[in-house]
Structure 1
């Protein structure tokens, strides 16, 4: 496989001066000699004009002579080369690509919507021009393919909390895998991946409502579990304090009633209504 090589063109200013000398000399020769043969020099002048080109910062020109790759010009400035060279322009600037939102199935088979933000630039102009048909279209297609593969490799979310990496919770690991996948896919086109990350992630519309309810239920269960753990600790501390300070003697039935009442008060999601007992503890 051929690799990129550097082409060193001539400076365009001396050749431009020569071209104008030919032009003015031709005009003068025609006026002085009246010989039409000198008109052929006009053809030389116009052919020379096709050899001039300008390279702006972060731009390049791929030089091809009748199908033969001669090299790439990356130096900035005003240059002249063989007028019969085709000078294909290739930008070396960084591109920012935001893919369309794709509907794919995650690892668990749930339909999700996902898109990728990709920052890339051309590093090898030979591969970009001759290894693929259209390198910009190649980037778009391969980005979509990488996103589809990524979506099928991870679950959107993990409700079991077993430490598995998911699209939602493991962004750093997922984005790293996405970058590596894109680098491998785009290397053949001479494309360098600067950054790749997930730009949009959500459940598909048809299951979004159900999954939201599931997430809410999971959050409620987790919150209730913390509340119960805290309530048990508070009840245990209350019984220990009452027993240590001998404030009141409680038998097992009274302890059970007290524990029940405290758990109701501490775990209730609404404000409790106090009931004042004006009789004895047995009533």
Structure 2
């Protein structure tokens, strides 16, 4: 089904024609010309059934005896084919807020996810004839797409090697938009934007996953601190030896590196020990 333009004429001109016909019919009846008068009045009444009003950003789908005659998109009052069935479809931008869905991410962790879908109808004929109740179709397909995309990625990871639902919301939303557009084009619907509105671990594992996140964050931070401390200790020893300040053997070099690492890595402030020499020196 493809949307096409329906036949329609200016509604005010149509009303004028009907008034003229009705007036002519009444005049004929007064002149005792019964048959012409009745015919004119009947034609005027028939034309009344073709009057339709189209609001801005709406499309009126015209059906005549079960056949699609086209759509009227222009706003205003029109006269179209009499005795037609006319269905009004909104072309305005609308939002659909999905429910909080419980799904398992790619690692099998249960998460709660919800999204807002911004869409509009761009083909009224498809919305009416190719699907049954296009608004319900949008709702079901949106939730199906959200579930499918959520199962392709982990909720979170500290390895920074792949996309995650929490860390790459923009990329996930873009993929959701693309997939949803493929599902909804059959209904003549254009997906303008999708955004995640809720994302969290399910309540039954939320506390355990929070502890896991905290542990992973501590490990990641410790690793960065140790890497930095090793580099600082190496630079300090290298500069001291290059400048000729001290000449350390292997044992004293290990001792100094150990002291530097303890001083840098320790969470508490280190207490310096001042060596003033030996008693028997």
* TM-score bin, normalised by smaller chain: 0.7 to 0.9
Q: Give the structure 1 partner of residue 190 of structure 2.
A: 192
Taking the aligned partners of 2:236 and 2:89, their CA distance within structure 1 comes to: 77
Q: Give the structure 2 partner of residue 12 of structure 1.
A: 11
Structure 2 CA distance for partners of 1:282 and 1:133, relative to 1, 3 Å: farther
Q: Which of 166, 172, 175 in structure 2 is aligned with 1:174?
A: 172
Is 1:128 the counterpart of 2:124 in the alignment? no
Q: Give the structure 2 partner of residue 234 of structure 1.
A: 232
DSSP 3-state at the match of 2:209: helix
Q: Give the structure 1 partner of residue 89 of structure 2.
A: 90
Query: In the TM superposition, what is the alpha-carbon distance from 1:84 to its structure 2 partner?
Result: 0.6
Query: In the TM superposition, what is the alpha-carbon distance from 1:109 to its structure 2 partner?
Result: 0.9
Is 1:56 the counterpart of 2:55 in the alignment? yes
DSSP 3-state at the match of 1:100: coil
On the 8 A contact 2:27/2:37 being kept in 1, the answer is: no
Query: In the TM superposition, what is the alpha-carbon distance from 1:88 to its structure 2 partner?
Result: 0.6
Q: Give the structure 1 partner of residue 214 of structure 2.
A: 216
Query: In the TM superposition, what is the alpha-carbon distance from 1:160 to its structure 2 partner?
Result: 3.7
On the 8 A contact 2:24/2:37 being kept in 1, the answer is: no
DSSP 3-state at the match of 2:151: helix
DSSP 3-state at the match of 1:84: coil
Moved more, 22-31 or 106-115: 22-31
Taking the aligned partners of 1:250 and 1:94, their CA distance within structure 2 comes to: 75
Query: In the TM superposition, what is the alpha-carbon distance from 1:210 to its structure 2 partner?
Result: 2.0
Query: In the TM superposition, what is the alpha-carbon distance from 1:91 to its structure 2 partner?
Result: 1.2
Q: Give the structure 1 partner of residue 154 of structure 2.
A: 155
DSSP 3-state at the match of 2:92: coil
The C-alpha deviation readout for 1:234-265, integer Å capped at 9, x for no partner, is 22222223323443443333333222221111
Query: In the TM superposition, what is the alpha-carbon distance from 1:108 to its structure 2 partner?
Result: 1.0
DSSP 3-state at the match of 2:69: strand
Q: Which of 267, 274, 277 in structure 2 is aligned with 1:276?
A: 274
Query: In the TM superposition, what is the alpha-carbon distance from 1:48 to its structure 2 partner?
Result: 3.7
Q: Give the structure 2 partner of residue 164 of structure 1.
A: 162
Query: In the TM superposition, what is the alpha-carbon distance from 1:7 to its structure 2 partner?
Result: 0.7
Structure 2 CA distance for partners of 1:281 and 1:121, relative to 1, 3 Å: farther
Taking the aligned partners of 2:3 and 2:227, their CA distance within structure 1 comes to: 66
Taking the aligned partners of 2:117 and 2:154, their CA distance within structure 1 comes to: 22
The C-alpha deviation readout for 1:160-185, integer Å capped at 9, x for no partner, is 43x22222233344223212221221
Taking the aligned partners of 1:265 and 1:159, their CA distance within structure 2 comes to: 27
Normalising by structure 1, report the TM-score: 0.86
DSSP 3-state at the match of 2:192: strand
Is 1:253 the counterpart of 2:268 in the alignment? no
Give unpaired runs (5+ residues) of structure 1. none
Taking the aligned partners of 2:279 and 2:273, their CA distance within structure 1 comes to: 13
Give unpaired runs (5+ residues) of structure 2. none
RMSD over aligned Cα atoms: 2.9
